[in-house]
Structure 1
Amino acid sequence: MANYSKVDHVIFDLDGLLLDTETFYLHTATELCKSFGRTFTMELREKIMGLPGPEYSRAIVEMLNLPVLPEEYYAHSRHEIKNLFPSAKLMPGAERLVRHLHQHGIPIAVATSSSEESVNLKLTNHKELFSLFHHIVMASSDPEVKKGKPSPEIFQICASRFPDKPKPDKCLVFEDAPNGVKAALAAGMQVVMVPDEHISEENKQLATLVLHSLEDFKPELFGLPQY
């Protein structure tokens, strides 16, 4: 069995990890690109997953050579997707893990590339659960976050906002996207990856641990209280 270092703080990504919202992004991008006569492929999706909205939009426009400005694409995308966000459901195992860590006094936070506006919509039906987090860093509208994932900045800032400012090696990150995994590792943190079925094996290699679902996580592997 692999050796994992003991941690005492946990940071979660949001989209595709705690909330099942990646399907919304996929549907919106697919339909928007189709309207311009282009195909939004799984390969492209894998490259840009986890990027902040403006960067995500710019990458799509540039890689597919869309006949529209990135700002215009982003505006169209936000308009289409915001109506879907309030229906977001929790991913399997998310609620159990969050409540378990909170009940045992483990400090937890969220580090997401999303904006405050979109996060509020996504949490429409989950406000009580997310009140258990010490804080949520929303990169797209946080003035302190200058660079999106795969930059380590969001995780460094997230860790610094815990009252005891834990060292990177005491933080465990949960991610679903390759860019998020790279960001967490660059921040000096261990990272558990819960990728969707379209992520290539190559992009799973960097993660400290890869799981099929949050339901499969064993907290004791990282020195956290056992279920």
Structure 2
Amino acid sequence: MAAVSGERPTITHVIFDMDGLLLDTEKFYTEVQEIILARFNKTFDWSLKAKMMGKKAIEAARVFVEETGISDSLSAEDFLEEREAMLQSLFPTSELMPGASRLIEHLHAKGVPICLATGSHRRHFELKTQRHGELFKLMHHIVLGDDPEVKQGKPSPDVFLAAARRFEGGPIGSQKILVFEDAPAGVHAAKNAGIYIALRLIA
């Protein structure tokens, strides 16, 4: 699906999100968070998931404990610590989403500059991609959630603005960039960066 406004731009560069778009990792977060909430007789639904997707870990954690009403029993920091222990064993099993490899390899073969802009921090990125290193090497550069230039997570545009600056000859004008995203916060981040085309699904 694409959100398009104004005249069709000449796209020269592409930025990819990662979780839920290139890698099937969102299910891990869902599984672990359902386990944690079950202790409090609460459920993890799509509306809560959508509010958390794309944000930095601590920002998403605050949303989680506050929206579910468990902040008096479980702090955002304690939630992250508990969740981390479970995720560490799941992330190395991450699979590519359908069509992800084909699209990345096609764009690279055509000489289209591509990069990754994700809210995942370095430790998680390395765990998630350890089975797919060759594919991610095709990215011109990678901007992670703990990058010094990323002061705020999505829907802040920080990660996309940093990504645009690091292309060869950058910064690249936002009207020349296409962002692939699957999360509402990521779509808003792209719009906030002035990138008015955001594709939410690749397959």
TM range (shorter): over 0.9
Partner Cα separation in structure 1 for residue 8 and residue 85 of structure 2: 43
Q: Which of 167, 187, 200 in structure 2 is aligned with 1:193?
A: 200
Q: Once the two structures are aligned, what percentage of the paired residues are identical?
A: 44
Match of 2:86 in 1: 80
What is the CA RMSD across the aligned residues, in angstroms? 1.2
Q: After the TM superposition, which residues 112-131 of structure 1 pair with which residues of structure 2 at under 5 Å, given as runs? A: 112-131=118-137
Secondary structure in structure 1 of the residue aligned to 2:89: coil
Match of 2:52 in 1: 48
Q: Which of 17, 22, 28 in structure 1 is aligned with 2:26?
A: 22
How far residue 36 of structure 1 moved from its aligned partner, in angstroms, is 2.7
Q: Which moved more, 1:171-180 or 1:158-167?
A: 158-167
Q: Which of 94, 102, 110 in structure 2 is aligned with 1:104?
A: 110
Letter of the aligned partner of 1:142 in structure 2?
D
Q: Which of 149, 153, 158 in structure 2 is aligned with 1:148?
A: 153
Q: Which of 164, 174, 183 in structure 2 is aligned with 1:168?
A: 174
Partner Cα separation in structure 2 for residue 164 and residue 59 of structure 1: 38
Q: TM-score, normalised by structure 1?
A: 0.83
Alpha-carbon contact 2:180-2:198 (below 8 Å) kept: yes
Question: In the alignment, is residue 35 of structure 1 matched against residue 39 of structure 2?
Answer: yes
Which ranges in structure 2 are unaligned for 5 or more consecutive residues? none
Which ranges in structure 1 are unaligned for 5 or more consecutive residues? 195-213, 216-227
Q: TM-score, normalised by structure 2?
A: 0.92
Partner Cα separation in structure 2 for residue 29 and residue 135 of structure 1: 31
Secondary structure in structure 1 of the residue aligned to 2:42: coil
Partner Cα separation in structure 1 for residue 192 and residue 104 of structure 2: 24
Question: In the alignment, is residue 58 of structure 1 matched against residue 65 of structure 2?
Answer: no
Q: Relative CO higher for 1 or 2, CA cutoff 8 Å, sep ≥ 6? A: 2
Match of 2:17 in 1: 13
Secondary structure in structure 2 of the residue aligned to 1:114: coil
How far residue 4 of structure 1 moved from its aligned partner, in angstroms, is 3.1
Partner Cα separation in structure 2 for residue 191 and residue 54 of structure 1: 25
How far residue 188 of structure 1 moved from its aligned partner, in angstroms, is 1.1
Q: Which moved more, 1:60-69 or 1:110-119?
A: 60-69
Alpha-carbon contact 2:149-2:158 (below 8 Å) kept: no
Letter of the aligned partner of 2:133 in structure 1?
K
Secondary structure in structure 1 of the residue aligned to 2:168: coil
Match of 1:95 in 2: 101
Q: How many residues align?
A: 194
How far residue 61 of structure 1 moved from its aligned partner, in angstroms, is 0.6
Partner Cα separation in structure 2 for residue 120 and residue 184 of structure 1: 24
Letter of the aligned partner of 1:70 in structure 2?
A
Alpha-carbon contact 2:157-2:190 (below 8 Å) kept: yes
Secondary structure in structure 2 of the residue aligned to 1:82: helix
Secondary structure in structure 1 of the residue aligned to 2:186: helix
Alpha-carbon contact 2:51-2:63 (below 8 Å) kept: no
How far residue 170 of structure 1 moved from its aligned partner, in angstroms, is 0.6
Match of 1:157 in 2: 162
